[in-house]
Amino acid sequence: MLNDFLTALTHEMVRFLAAHPDFFEGKEDAREKALQNVRMPAPFKHYLAHRKSEDFMEDMRLVVSYVNSAKLAKLEGNAFFKAVVEFFTGAFAAKLDKLNSDFYGFKEKDQWTVVQELIKSDSHVAGTLRELLIRRTYQELSAGLVTLTQRVVGAAYVVVQTPREVDSELKKEIRHDLVKENPLSFPVFQINKKLIGGIRIFKDGDVNDQSWVNRVQQFISLSSV
């Protein structure tokens, strides 16, 4: 799922490093300065600014291994993939949350318009992200990203169920707080009309049920005692 994105990103990095052959020899603040004008998401700039050249090469080998066989690659604790997870659970998730469920019913042309508005950069990396949003459903993306976060940092599996589509501002707030509570996790939003009202949050098997259906059931069970 992320092969195009990873390829574009590594290409961007390699192109940058080719233009700055002595990049890894500089100090971290010099590196950060060199990366300032590069069109690359912040977590990757931070990654490059703090990674040693030999570790970077190892990471590139791991990326190649992941692109060839995603299931076999050992991602646990890897700095590059941590940056990937940080990007997808942060900036990318915020963009994803801005798309409401109607988006997936649009014609492709309209979808492109929406996504173009959402991700304005004309970099190759941004293009792969737009492709991801157009070609993959929300369920596919969330499932893939949850798997990735769990493989890389063992993040909690968080699901937020609501009876209706949550507006993007509230989604942003919910995601922000849940990610703060469960670092590098990717909370998945689901619509469950049976809840009627309120919210239900699953976290690694534990459930916090603030839904109306739960309250009705509690009321009924208390009444029958």
Partner 1 sequence: MDKLSSLGIDLGSILFYLVNTGVLLVVLTYFLYKPLLKIIDDRRKHIADSIEESNRLRSEFEKTLDQAKQDREASEEQLREELARLKKYTEEERAKLTADMDEARSNMLQKAQEEIDAAKAGLLKDAEKDVMALMSKIILDIVQNKVPEKVIQESIKDAWKQYNK
> By the criterion CB under 8 A, which residues form the site for partner 1?
162-164, 166-167, 170, 173-174, 177, 193, 196-199, 201, 208, 210-213, 216-217, 220, 223-224
Whether residue 78 contacts residue 65, with contact meaning beta carbons closer than 8 Å, is answered with no
Residue 141: closest CA among 127, 152, 130: 130
Task: Give the nearest distance from C-beta 110 to partner 1 in angstroms.
Answer: 24
Which residue lies nearer to partner 1 by CB, 62 or 196? 196
14/219 with CB nearer partner 1: 219
For partner 1, give the closer residue by CB, 28 or 169. 169
DSSP 49-100: HH--HHHHHHHHHHHHHHHH-TTTS--TT-HHHHHHHHHIIIIIHHHHHHS-
* Shortest spacing between CB 156 and partner 1, in angstroms: 15
Q: Quote the least distance from Cβ 180 to partner 1, whole Å.
A: 11
Report the amino acid identity of residue 146.
V
From the CB of 150, what's the least distance to partner 1, in Å? 23
Q: Min. distance of Cβ 218 from partner 1 in angstroms?
A: 11
**Shorter beta-carbon distance to partner 1: residue 149 or 162:** 162
Contact of 23 with 134, CB cutoff 8 Å: no
Measured from the CB atom, is 95 or 172 closer to partner 1?
172
